[in-house]
Amino acid sequence: MTPPFLFTPASAMTAIAGRTGIQRFEYMIRHGSMKAGLYAPQNRDEQGPHKQDELYVVVTGTGTFEKAGQTQTFGPGDLIFVEAGVEHRFTGFSDDFTCWAIFWGPDGGEA
């Protein structure tokens, strides 16, 4: 059987149903150094820096993103890049906030 290659926010939300807080995350795809999942935090974002470079693709909701002392508002369709090892978090986000989180590359990020 061929593994799936198309994932929807709805199918990912089914996978994280019943989870709370930072646990509202599920990897849907893994290939080589790349992994991607849906992140849907509730109330607050407690994550810290990651070992790999990361892209967020906002699916639903709005809020503010803080990265290395800078703050930017975001909304559906926005793409956010975070280098490996950099402090970042979502703040003041709406209850319906979801985003794809895509990690890739070596620990420490790419040059």
CATH code (residue 86): 2.60.120.10
User: Which pLDDT value is given to residue 23?
Assistant: 75
Residue 1 domain flag: no
What pLDDT sits at residue 78? 98
Task: Specify the pTM.
Answer: 0.90
Q: Residue 29: inside a domain, yes or no?
A: no
Name the domain count of the chain.
1
Tell me whether residue 62 is in a domain: yes
Residue 2 has pLDDT above 80, yes or no: no
For 21-41, the pLDDT digits (tens) are 667 888 999 999 999 999 999
Cα dist. 27→13, 44, 61, 88, 98 in Å?
11, 20, 20, 20, 14
| Full domain range(s) for residue 52 | 38-111
Q: Does residue 45 lie within any of the structural domains? A: yes
Q: Which helix (H) or strand (E) holds 12?
A: helix 9-16
